[in-house]
A and B are shown apart, each in its own frame.
Chain A
């Protein structure tokens, strides 16, 4: 009995905060999504599913989804492949490897705010270092952020760089988790490094790879900072990802109802991705 009370006492601060800033807002989101609001956020009228209809019909959803999926496609496979190669190459005990490990982990501590500012100048059309360096090797300047064809690619390049640290750290610790004996016996059997990597590291790393995939996809769905600083959704909505359009609806147009409807759609998508991941974790446990 006393232990009960005491345990609730220990949980109380967390529970209270979750109740106010997580559980209540969840319900409030649903409530808001079914209402129209005035610009101050006061409820104006009950509108049923009209907000959701509006999101689907106005093309906001389709455009946001299309851009977000493209963004996932650009950033996730490339980002993981780069991190995997670097993790594999630095996974040995040669001299000086710790320096490389440090460098490849480095982007993990850089925020989206400062990274985006740095890249904004690297992308600068005339004075930017990227176009200058391209000019050195005889390539015409690229309209990185100003052309609808390039803007999403540019943001993806910056995002891949920014995510490299996290992906690299997770994949490196995944590789370190593979016992040395397995490699030893492969060596005795005469397997070369590439074969060993394909036949041993990759399968044993697959749970980690899957984790990184899911986290990266969810991360891509939640990207905001780099979009807001680099392009503000433009040019011509070519970088208007999902969260940016939620931000636009709620905090620029002050339509909290449709904003909430969009946020709930995002929640459904992320929930689906998380459930897939949990299913995989079950299999992973079985697998080991």
Chain B
């Protein structure tokens, strides 16, 4: 692998693969800045002939994309916060406390990871509907506030914290609650960050549940909103793609800043099996 020849070949091969993987994303951004004539030209233009940023403002007039994005950020943010709170508390109990029935409850948590979401979907829909929670933020978020995966992730991290730390805190008269809030949580920022990115992304990207529980355009999330765009007969492609570009931009930014954290979380998931 040391000769310049094989190295060039490797780079060439990787560049072709990267272009193939990247193309759908580039295509989105190219189309997003094309003029209507440019976008509907035949043969299609691979690279925009001109750059027209007015698509981004125009798409706001056609669909309430601002409220889609606002809703989604609110829903994903609330779920993220909720999951951080519930998972870190449960993880602390499993990692640092002794109590009756610990093993039973722990295996119950394991079991929840085996339940595919689709099995609980129909009853949950009926529950949420009977409570009048269709088209509400609580209907979108509350069923997802607890996470077994997140609990495991954090438990693993909490268990790695040195025992001596707790002993020392105890001598200083520090109980579980204070130890948890003022020592464990600040020390666990990397793990909490991983879970935060992970849960934000999965909520931001969720599709089926928001499709079921929301009906009004005001309550729709971006993933549903974006697929509504293409059904608007009069809408030009460049506008659809301007909307799509706006929707995928936050996740791409999150990837740029959080790739390492995300990889760590996924690797932890894989090791745990």
Task: Establish whether residues A161 and B118, one from each chain, have CB atoms under 8 Å apart when the complex forms.
Answer: no
- A72 at the B interface (CB under 8 A): no
Judge whether B117 is part of the interface by a CB distance below 8 angstroms.
yes
Question: Judging by beta carbons under 8 Å apart, are A89 and B252 in contact?
Answer: no
Question: In the assembly, what is the distance between CA of A256 and CA of B212, in Å?
Answer: 14
B201 partner, pick from A28, A89, A109, A267, beta carbons under 8 A: A109
Q: Is A253 an interface residue (CB 8 A)?
A: no
B145 and A108 contact, CB distance less than 8 A: no
Please indicate the chain B residues that have their CB under 8 angstroms from the CB of A90 in the complex. Answer: 14
Taking a contact as CB atoms closer than 8 A, the residue among A7, A20, A114, A284 that contacts B97 in the complex is A7
Given A4-B99, A94-B7, A107-B21, residue A274 in contact with residue B46 (CB < 8 A): no
Q: A105-B259, A173-B267, A270-B116 are in contact. Are A6 and B176 (CB under 8 A)?
A: yes
Question: In the complex the two chains form, is A25's CB within 8 Å of B119's CB?
Answer: yes
Residue of B nearest to A260 (CB): B122
Closest-CB distance, A72 to chain B (whole angstroms): 15
A280 to B22: give the CA distance in the assembly, Å: 35
Say yes or no: A266 contacts B44, CB within 8 Å: no
Indicate whether A206 reaches chain B with its CB closer than 8 angstroms: no
* Option from A11, A89, A132, A174 in Cβ contact (under 8 Å) with B43: A132
Q: Which residues of A contact B7 (CB under 8 A)?
A: 94
Query: Judging by beta carbons under 8 Å apart, are A112 and B97 in contact?
Result: no
Assembly CA distance A89 to B273 (angstroms):
25
Chain A: minimal CB distance from B90 (Å): 4
* Cross-chain contact B262 with A108 (CB below 8 angstroms): yes
In the complex, whether A138 has a CB less than 8 A from a CB of chain B is no
B24 in complex: contacting residue of A24, A118, A284, CB < 8 Å:
A118
Query: Using a Cβ–Cβ cut-off of 8 Å, how many residues does chain B contribute to the interface with A?
Result: 93
CB-contact partner of A10 in B44, B89, B206, B230, under 8 A: B89
Report A112-138 CB contacts with B as 1/0, cut-off 8 Å: 111111111110001101001000000
A32 contacts which chain B residues (CB < 8 A)?
122-123
Inter-chain contact B204/A103, CB cutoff 8 Å: no
Question: In the complex, what residue of chain B is closest to A86 when comparing beta carbons?
Answer: B17
- Is A21 a contact partner of B223 (Cβ separation < 8 A)? no
Residue B251 lies at the interface, judged by CB distance under 8 Å to chain A = yes
A10 touches B266 (CB 8 A): no
Residue numbers in B under 8 Å from A96 (CB-CB): 11
Contact of A8 with B273 in the complex, beta carbons under 8 Å: no
Q: Which residues of A contact B256 (CB under 8 A)?
A: 102
A271 interfacial contact with B, CB 8 Å: yes
With A114-B226, A225-B207, A225-B208 known as contacts, the answer to whether A106 contacts B120 (CB < 8 A) is: no
Are A246 and B118 closer than 8 Å at their CB atoms? yes
Q: Which of A120, A250, A284 contacts B273 (CB 8 A)?
A: A284
Q: Are A270 and B114 in contact (CB under 8 A)?
A: yes
Contact of B18 among A104, A115, A169 (CB under 8 A): A104
12 A-B pairs whose Cβ atoms sit less than 8 Å apart in the complex: A14-B87, A29-B123, A41-B129, A92-B1, A109-B255, A111-B207, A114-B222, A118-B28, A169-B267, A170-B270, A211-B270, A266-B116
Asked if A121 meets B237 with Cβ closer than 8 Å, knowing A17-B146, A256-B126, A284-B273, the reply is: yes
B13 neighbours in A (Cβ, 8 Å): 89
Q: Is the interface of A mostly helix, strand, loop or mixed?
A: helix
Contact surface of A with B, Cβ cutoff 8 Å: 3-4, 6-8, 10-11, 13-15, 17-18, 20-22, 24-26, 28-29, 32, 41, 86, 89-90, 92, 94, 96, 99-100, 102-122, 126-127, 129, 132, 161, 164, 166, 169-170, 172-174, 193, 208, 211-212, 218, 221-222, 224-225, 228-229, 243, 246-247, 250-251, 256, 259-260, 263-264, 266-267, 270-271, 274, 277-278, 280-281, 284
User: Chain B residues near A106 (CB, 8 Å)?
Assistant: 21-22, 25, 252, 255
Closest to A162 in B: B24
B247 at the interface (CB under 8 A from A): yes
Contact digits for B85-126, partner A, Cβ 8 Å, 1 yes 0 no: 111011011000111101001001100101111111111111
Q: Is there contact, CB below 8 Å, between B263 and A10?
A: no
Contact check, A7 vs B122: say whether CB atoms are below 8 A apart: no
**Are A224 and B207 closer than 8 Å at their CB atoms?**
yes
Q: Which listed residue, B98, B119, B206, touches A29 by the CB 8 Å rule?
A: B119
Q: Which of A10, A174, A222, A277 contacts B118 (CB 8 A)?
A: A222
Whole-angstrom distance between the Cβ of A8 and the nearest chain B Cβ: 7
Most buried by B among A11, A224, A251, A263: A11
A2 to chain B, nearest CB (A): 9
Question: Which residues of chain B are near A112, meaning CB under 8 Å?
Answer: 205, 207, 223
In the complex the two chains form, what is the Cα distance from A17 to B79 in whole Å? 13
Pair A114/B114 contact, Cβ less than 8 Å: no
Known: A13-B89, A116-B227, A193-B1. A18 touches B112 (CB 8 A): yes
Is A24 a contact partner of B21 (Cβ separation < 8 A)?
Answer: no
Known: A24-B123, A119-B24, A263-B122. A89 touches B14 (CB 8 A): yes
